[in-house]
């Protein structure tokens, strides 16, 4: 029983380490808000610097109002990004916001 728990714990730790290191594989080069009515959108570019095909990438964003309050989150995804390839992403959240910040990048 103890061996099963130890094995499961080591597997979970290994998975976390891969995710933590994988953000080094994708560099966000630009990120900008495009003002709109009734809500804004945002666009950006990310480059694959992993030296291999990224099978799947996910970027999570926080959305803030003009006073700096967190008002929502957004997510963008892409598949099969070639080495040195540039991914042009965009999102149109339904919540009004003025600023966007990426807070998590995962690649697989």
Nearest CA to 76 out of 98, 104, 48, 54 is that of 104
Residue 5: per-residue pLDDT: 38
23 confidence band (pLDDT: 50, 70, 90): low
Are 42 and 32 contacting, i.e. CB atoms less than 8 angstroms apart?
Answer: yes
Residue 61: per-residue pLDDT: 98
Return the SS3 of 1: coil
Structure tokens at 13: 């730790």
Unique residue bearing structure tokens 């929502």:
72
Is the pLDDT score of 7 beyond 90? no
What CATH code is carried by the domain that includes residue 19?
2.60.40
Q: How far is CA 64 from the centre of its chain?
A: 17
pLDDT digits (tens, 9 = 90+) for 47-103: 999 999 999 999 999 999 999 999 999 999 999 999 999 999 999 999 999 999 999
Q: Compute the distance between CA of residue 33 and CA of residue 74 in angstroms, rounded to an integer.
A: 13
Residue 37: per-residue pLDDT: 87
Is the pLDDT score of 22 beyond 60? no
Residue 9: per-residue pLDDT: 39
Is the pLDDT score of 20 beyond 50? no
Host domain of residue 36: 2-107
Domain count, the chain: 1
C-alpha pair distances (Å), 6 with each of 1, 3, 64: 9, 5, 41
Residue 4: per-residue pLDDT: 42
Question: Edge-to-edge, what's the strand order for the sheet holding 70-81?
Answer: 70-81, 54-64, 99-107
Residue 72: per-residue pLDDT: 98
């Amino acid at each position: 029983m103890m061996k099963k728990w130890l094995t499961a714990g080591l597997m979970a730790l290994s998975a976390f380490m891969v995710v933590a290191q994988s953000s080094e594989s994708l560099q966000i080069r630009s990120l900008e808000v495009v003002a709109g009515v009734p809500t804004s959108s945002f666009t950006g570019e990310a480059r694959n610097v992993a030296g291999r095909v990224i099978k799947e990438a996910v970027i999570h964003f926080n959305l803030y109002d003009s006073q700096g309050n967190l008002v929502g989150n957004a997510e963008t995804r892409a598949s099969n990004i070639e080495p040195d390839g540039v991914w042009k992403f965009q999102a149109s959240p339904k919540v009004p916001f003025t600023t966007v910040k990426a807070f998590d990048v995962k690649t697989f």
